[in-house]
Amino acid sequence: MALENLLGQTRAQKILKGHLEKTRYHHAYLFHGPAGVGKRTAAREFSHSIFCEETGPGYCGKCVSCHQFLTGNHPDYQEIEVEDRTIKIDVIRELRRSLTLKPYKSAYRIFVIRQAEKFTREAANSFLKSLEEPPSYVIFILTSDNRKLLLPTIISRSFPVAFNHLGKNIIENYLKSKIGDQQKRKVLAEISGGSLGFACKLAEDDKFLEQRKELISRWSRMDRGSFLDVYSLVQWLEKEWSGDYFQFFQLLQYWLRDLFYWQNGQKQAILNRDCSDLLQEEGPCWKIEDLEKALNLLDELQRGFDRKINRRLALEATLLKINGWRQ
């Protein structure tokens, strides 16, 4: 099999299968696209297929290399992940030192760097030196949820493979093995925003749907420019969601987009369809241009959370500003 566990990414599958069939690989790949749509799965499946000792554009699952990979013990494979919201220079220095070691078992050593947009500037510049002249036996696979944040020189030296949002039917079908309630599957598929990873995370949280409605209700019924309402919302977020800002941002952005679609008459694009009463209630309170500004401001704040800032104060200030744009 080759990349069979990668759902809904036909174009990426075709590209990577072509490389496996020809056994010709680039020294660096950039898997880019939204979070939770299969980039990590693709990186692992692609690497596994390269390592397999059997011929053919996939992996057998039975050879020694496959056994090592499936048990997480392959000596020529390494994943590098974000620690404390960034990928630091020390991690890349250690990576560069290890590049001199030749493959232990396979023809290649593969390094997967997840969320490569989280490089610090020093780490990015250091990694670039390795990317410019890598050993012939090294393959880098970078994954990125936002390639615009990468150095242009890193992008230009990597082979790009684009990943797209997944269809709601794909996510809903996948959730059948996890959730028996059809209506719950449908709601999660709708509000996942095309991210299977996000949908699976939500499926594991029994309180999520209740908290989501509470969030939308609290947001919809805030008074314009009320600091007390914003303060109360952030306090509730800290208490009920243990400060899960990523999930909060995602859900609030989806809600503001729904208000935008409601204003534009694009009802088929609305995600939170089970909250139509609140859309009717809050929709008239916004101008389209203010919703666009609010979404852009939330994007800026979310990127700022990767830096060392006072998250709560920044969140309160941003939400107060956005709430002041209500009519």
At 307, is the pLDDT very low, low, confident or very high (cuts 50, 70, 90)?
low
- CA angle (296 as vertex; 294, 301 as ends), nearest 5: 95
Q: Which of 5-9, 58-62, 244-248 has the lowest mean pLDDT?
A: 244-248
**Is there a contact between 255 and 216 (Cβ–Cβ < 8 Å)?**
yes
CA distance 267 to 69: 46
- Strands across the sheet containing 109-113: 77-80, 109-113, 138-144, 28-32, 159-162
Mean pLDDT of 61-72: 94
CA distance 61 to 50: 12
Question: How many other β-carbons are positioned within 10 Å of the β-carbon of residue 256?
Answer: 20
Question: Which residue ranges form the domains of the chain, and what is each CATH number?
Answer: 10-162 (3.40.50.300), 205-323 (1.20.272)
At 1, is the pLDDT very low, low, confident or very high (cuts 50, 70, 90)?
low
pTM greater than the 0.85 cutoff: no
Q: Which of 23, 39, 20 is nearest to 31 (CA)?
A: 39
Mean pLDDT of 14-41: 95
Residues 158-201: tens digit of each pLDDT: 999 999 999 999 999 999 988 888 888 888 888 888 999 888 88
CA distance 134 to 161: 20
